[in-house]
């Protein structure tokens, strides 16, 4: 699993619309409204590194109302959340 964190600057009058549009895109797992230099933080999770190109410049950056983005790639996850289970194909566990 590859995770990217995308910080988005949006037209202030369109933040809600931009967030909802991004949240509906394939590959986007979460969108947060944030404070600071950016308006939104987008969590992108894909199976292969190459898919980031389809999601970030291919879809997110083309959403009307976006003024700019800044992307960071995660190297390692230090969370108790089992992301692989979240992205499973729905197959039963082999318990």
* 28, β-bridge pairs: 44
Rounded Cα distance between 42 and 7, Å, is: 6
Mean pLDDT by 10 residues, the chain (95 residues): 96 97 97 97 96 97 98 85 56 52
Rounded Cα distance between 8 and 70, Å, is: 7
The sheet carrying 28-33 orders its strands as 28-33, 40-46, 2-10, 66-73
Rounded Cα distance between 52 and 45, Å, is: 8
Could you tell me if 20 and 52 are in contact, meaning their C-beta atoms sit under 8 angstroms apart? no
**Residue 37: count of CB within 10 angstroms of its CB:** 8
Q: What is the pLDDT of residue 82?
A: 57
Task: Calculate the average pLDDT of the chain.
Answer: 89
Q: What is the pLDDT of residue 15?
A: 97
Q: What is the pLDDT of residue 84?
A: 58
């Amino acid at each position: 699993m590859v995770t990217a964190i995308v910080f988005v600057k949006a037209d202030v009058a369109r933040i809600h619309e931009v967030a909802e549009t991004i949240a509906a895109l394939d590959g986007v797992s979460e969108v947060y409204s944030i404070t600071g230099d950016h308006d939104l933080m987008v969590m992108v999770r894909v199976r292969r590194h190459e898919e980031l190109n389809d999601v970030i410049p291919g879809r997110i950056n083309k959403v009307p109302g976006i003024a700019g983005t800044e992307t960071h790639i995660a190297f390692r996850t230090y969370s108790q959340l089992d992301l692989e289970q979240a992205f499973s194909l729905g197959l039963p566990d082999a318990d």
